Amino acid sequence: MFTDEAQEPVSIRSAWRTSQQSAQDSIGCQTRAVHSAEAEVQTLSTAVSWTQTQPHDEAQELLLQPAADRLDPPGLKAFLQRVEDTVIRELDRNGRSHAFDEFQVNWEDQSQPVSCLHCLQHPSAQERGLHVTSVSWSCTGSVIACAFGRTDDGDWITEPSCVCTWNLDRRGLNPKQADLVIDVATAVTALCCHPQQPALIAGGLYSGEVVVWDTSRTQDPVLVQTGMSADSHREPVYQVAWVPLQKAGEFGVLSACSGGRVLLWTGDLNEGRFVLNAAYALVPQQVPHSSYVSFKARGSSTVGVTSLALSPWDPDTFLVGSEGGLLLRCSFSSQTPAAVPSEGHNVTLRAPAVFVFRPRSGPVHSIHCSPFHRNLFVSAGTDGRAHLHSLLQADPLLSLRVSDSSVFQVQWSPSRPLVFAAAAAQGEVHIFDLGRRSLRPAATIEQGGADQAATCLAFNSQNSHLLALGRTNGTVCIWQLSHDLTEQSPREISQLEQIANQVAA
């Protein structure tokens, strides 16, 4: 009857539904193959080198110094035997020969003995009619410092003056304009540059003050000053000098004034003031006895000091020249107290005079000790003569006539033992050479009349051919000396010894 029938399903394909599967493509990419190569480097040969500076005593290797027991090089003995006689004969003959006694060769070409290099002026000082009172070279030899003031006024000077410096080695040297101008309240009467530090200059003023300027400071060049204390001078300071103190490298300033006082100051840099280290007072009663000096004690209770000189050979000695013409040798270490009423000084005054030389008739303007002989010094004053003294006797060894008027300054040359220069009030400067037979000057710098008096001069110890000269018309001239005034000849020291030994027994 009825049976189950299993029919196969019937499927109808969708007409609208399509496969969502998108078209698919397969693509691949690949970079090209990278080229690589391998190579090796290897040094085949090596070399090592180094340099080294040769030490100075390499030279020792050149010297073959045979030990005492080694044989001399062959033939040395025979060689010496051959030449010994000849050499000894020549040596002997040479020692006795006079062939070359006066023979000198001049390699430098110098036509004139002196020639003017520069003429330096400070216009504002010249307008005020100031004179140059002192010149000093710095220790390096390239800077010249000049002090302005007056040398002829008897009145108290109240007008301000200045100190100017010029550096001669600079390219842009302007003779009419100073490199550095330091204004000072009163006239400057003495100037001295420090012997080791080029920036320090010590000056003495007309008011009695002693000042040290430091030219390396731009703001206020005054480094130390004495001020008007009870210790300081009351009279114009005519000379300042740097004195080496006990401690090496330290210097004090020695100042001498016409009030008869010589004071040694040490600078206290913190305070900016000077501290009195030692004080010496010169009074006529304490001048050593001598047949020349008669006591004219009335009217003059002090020995006004106008010039001072330190001895480069003996640190204890200094020489003093006075207004009355006295010339004294003094000692720093003298202990005799001075016979002056104590005026509230902190340091006791001492009388330093040890020996008196033959006095002059007028003020002694300048003294200078010879840098080549320990006993000689030269002095000059208003009598127009330069006197050569030895420390050992009172009379001068030699008196040379310089000019008819007074001589303001004498100074020994730093390079030639027999030469010194003297500046006269009539404006000429004479340079004397003691090695010459005649007593006339070896060279003369002529210029002008009484209005251009030469007041001060200074040799340059570094460049010994330069000489600075200050005049009353406010100019400083730098002169160049020729070869034979500056080059030392072989026999000069022995000639100087001979002159010094003329001391009467």
- Binds other proteins (CB under 8 A): choice among 14, 86, 219, 438: 86
The interface mask with other proteins, positions 132-171, x = CB under 8 A, is ----------------------------------------
Residue number, 91 or 392, with CB nearest to other proteins = 91
Give the contact letters, 46-85, x = binds to other proteins (CB under 8 A), - = no: -----------x-xx-xxx---x--xxx-xxx-xxxxxx-
Question: Which of 1, 64 has the CB closer to other proteins?
Answer: 64
Cβ contacts of residue 290 below 8 Å, gap of 6+? 356, 394
106 touches other proteins by CB under 8 A: no
* Residue 73 or 129 with smaller CB distance to other proteins: 73
DSSP-assigned states of every residue in 435-475: TSSSSS-SEEE----GGG-EEEEEE-SSSTTEEEEEETTSE
Element (H, E) at 146: strand 143-149
Question: CB of residue 463 vs other proteins: minimum separation in angstroms?
Answer: 20
Nearer to other proteins, 95 or 249 (CB): 95
Q: Which is nearer to other proteins, 170 or 491 (CB)?
A: 491
Q: Please identify, using beta-carbon distances, which residue of 122 and 465 lies nearer to other proteins.
A: 465
Among positions 269, 343, 491, 498, the unique one binding other proteins when judged by CB under 8 A: 491
The answer to whether residue 94 forms part of the interface with other proteins (CB under 8 A) is: yes
Q: What is the DSSP string of 276-337?
A: EEEEEE--GGGSPP-SS-----SS--S--EEEEEE-SS-TTEEEEEETTS-EEEEETT--PB
100 touches other proteins by CB under 8 A: yes
CA angle 335, 231, 344 (to 5 degrees): 80
Using CB under 8 A as the binding criterion, the count of chain residues that bind other proteins stands at 33
Nearer to other proteins, 106 or 501 (CB): 106
Min dist. Cβ of residue 413 to other proteins (A): 18
Rounded to a whole number of angstroms, the minimum distance from the CB of residue 54 to other proteins is 13
Q: How far is the CB of 93 from other proteins (least distance, A)?
A: 10
Rounded Cα distance, 383 and 405, in Å: 7
92 or 220: whose CB is closer to other proteins?
92
- Alpha-carbon distance 357 to 395, whole Å? 6
Please, which residue, 48 or 64, has the CB nearer to other proteins? 64
Q: How far apart are CA 47 and CA 241, in angstroms?
A: 67
Q: What b/e string do you get for 230-251 counting C-beta neighbours within 10 Å, with b at 16 or more? A: ebbbebbbbbbbbbeeeeeeeb
The least CB distance from residue 100 to other proteins, in Å, is 6
Does 87 sit near other proteins (CB under 8 A)? yes
Q: By CB under 8 A, is residue 88 in contact with other proteins?
A: yes
CA distance 204 to 241: 10
User: For the chain, what is the largest distance between any 2 Cα atoms, rounded to a whole number of angstroms?
Assistant: 195
Looking at residues 16 to 35 of the shown chain, list those that interact with other proteins (rule: CB under 8 A). none
CB of 61 to other proteins, least distance (A): 10
Number of other CB atoms surrounding residue 76 within 10 Å: 10
Q: Give the H/E segment covering residue 113.
A: none
The least distance separating other proteins from the CB of residue 80, rounded to whole angstroms, comes to 5
How does 39-55 read in b/e, with b if 16+ C-beta sit within 10 Å?
A: eeeeeeeeeeeeeeeee
Residues in the chain: 505
* SS3 of residue 212 by DSSP: strand
- In whole angstroms, how close is the CB of 105 to other proteins at the nearest point? 8
Provide the 3-class DSSP secondary structure of residue 231.
coil
- Which residue of 28, 55, 341, 490 would you call a contact of other proteins, by CB under 8 A? 490
CB 279 within 8 A of CB 347: yes
Question: Residue 40 or residue 61: which is nearer to other proteins going by CB?
Answer: 61
The residues binding other proteins (CB under 8 A) are: 57, 59-60, 62-64, 68, 71-73, 75-77, 79-84, 86-88, 90-92, 94-95, 97, 100, 489-491, 494
